[in-house]
Amino acid sequence: MPEENLAIDGGKPIRNKPLPDGNKFGREELRELTDVIDSGVMSRFGGTKVEQFENEFAGIHGAKYGIASSSGTASLHIAVGMLNPSPGDEIIVGPITDVGSVIPILAQTAIPIFCDVQRDTFNMHPEDIERKIRKKTKAIMAVHVFGNPCDMDAIMSIAKRHNLTVIEDCSQAHLSEYKGRLVGTIGDIACFSLQQSKHISCGDGGITITNNDDYGTRGKLFMDKGWDRSREGQPTYVIFAPNYRMNELSGAVALAQVRKMRNTVAQRRARGDLLSELCKNPYVVPQRVLDGCKHTYWLYAMQVKDDAPFTPEDFAAAMRAEGISCTPHFFGRPVFLSHEAVRDQRLFGNSRFPFDHPDANPVSYDENTAPNAQKVYDQMIVGYARPRVNQQWATQFLSEEDIHDIARAIKKVSRHLRTR
């Protein structure tokens, strides 16, 4: 069959080699790790690397406090711990997120309230945020999905009217920009993940930043079992808290990584923006970025439009045949349906705590909780370089030639599927 036909129909594929995924670690990390080994100090207390990392990361964001931790989930738990909610208090959060955004809310005996999303940006819809506010609402957790900034002007305006704290979940959004400001510098508290797939990584880790003295002081205690280390003598624990300390080996890698962050993000952004420019077509569209904002493409996501004459499954299968790995639907369902214990409200033994606490409002999670989020998942396509290990198209490792191949494949598949 002629070359112009789809590869899935026997035509010649766009690519015969996999997309590159690269290695973000190198000699810089080794030098910092060698310092730690030579020092003989692996704990953050007595070491220097974790504190250096905290200071440099916080400095980039103009934050007074940087609190490193053992994971992105831990960084969010520290943020919720800063708020110290009472049982039954509510925190509004987006439904398109990892369960790491939800675990900290429930672990602190608060209840996640899921607002719906804008179908084109995938981010929390400000109007639905406001509709979900009740007397028990304590905070809004603004999740910047895949590196695409939320509508922070609207969210901050809502928070101000209702006297709510705003936590920015920047786990997927290192150095994303909202109208000239870095995400994480707009709300009251911000959290970042350093998991393997993120823009910068130490394998697993996180950091929480804030300029609020009360939150910063409590956050440092919350990271360290509530231990007030300013008091001499025997340990004094002043609040109930977990142990989320980052060790010096992770801190060393994180320190080397944060010094690469600007270049890494610039490369991701340039390639992602180029792909969005090249792949314009009427049936498959990239995640919409608000005017004045800059995406950082932790994940490159597209959407098969409502009127497309093919399904996401058809599109993904044809793309894979062209040599471009991708998959439909991402997680498949909003987090409150994909996590069975959350959906069924069975978290602690046989109880329904905190959902059945006397101060809690009744809440249920079902297909009607966030219908737009389900539609987004139903039509979503995400790019993977190595789908078996969920390695995304890490756009800093893609050349312009790679980007042009992806765009050619998107156009070819969209054109031919339309006429099938």
For residues 347 and 359, give the distance between their C-alpha atoms in angstroms, rounded to a whole number: 18
Average per-residue pLDDT for the chain: 95
The residues, ordered by sequence, that sit 6+ positions from 350 with a Cβ below 8 Å of its Cβ are: none
Asked if residue 225 lies in contact with residue 242, where contact means CB atoms within 8 angstroms, the answer is yes
Cβ distance 84 to 219 under 8 Å?
A: no
DSSP single-letter state for residue 215 = H
How far apart CA 150 and CA 115 sit, in angstroms, is: 13
How many of the other CB atoms lie within 10 Å of CB of 356?
A: 11
- What token pair was written down for 56? 């440099």
List phi, psi (to 5°) of 276. Answer: -60, -35
DSSP state of 319: H
The pLDDT assigned to 386 comes to: 52
List, for residues 274-300, the tens digit of each pLDDT value.
999 998 889 999 999 999 999 999 999
Give the containing element (helix H, strand E) for 50. helix 49-60
The pLDDT score that the predictor gives to residue 397 is 86
* pLDDT of the residue at 2: 47
Mean pLDDT of all residues in 304-309: 95
Write down the pLDDT at residue 385. Answer: 52
Check whether 60 has a pLDDT greater than 80.
yes
Half-sphere exposure of 367 (CA within 13 A, CB side): 3
Per-residue pLDDT tens over the stretch 177-211: 999 999 999 999 999 999 999 999 999 999 999 99
The yes-or-no verdict on residue 388 having pLDDT over 60 is: no
The answer to whether the pTM exceeds 0.85 is: yes
Structure tokens given for 303: 């959407």
Average pLDDT for 238-245? 98
Using one digit for the tens of pLDDT, what is the confidence trace for 37-57?
999 999 999 999 999 999 999
User: Cis (ω within 30 of 0) for the bond into 354?
Assistant: yes
Number of Cβ within 10 Å of residue 139's Cβ equals 25
- Residue 391 confidence class, pLDDT cut points 50, 70, 90: low
Q: Tell me the per-residue pLDDT of 329-345, one tens digit each, with 9 for 90 and over.
A: 998 999 999 999 999 99
The helix (run of H) or strand (run of E) holding residue 378 is helix 371-379
For 35, the token pair is 């310092």
Query: Tokens 């609020």, residue?
Result: 212
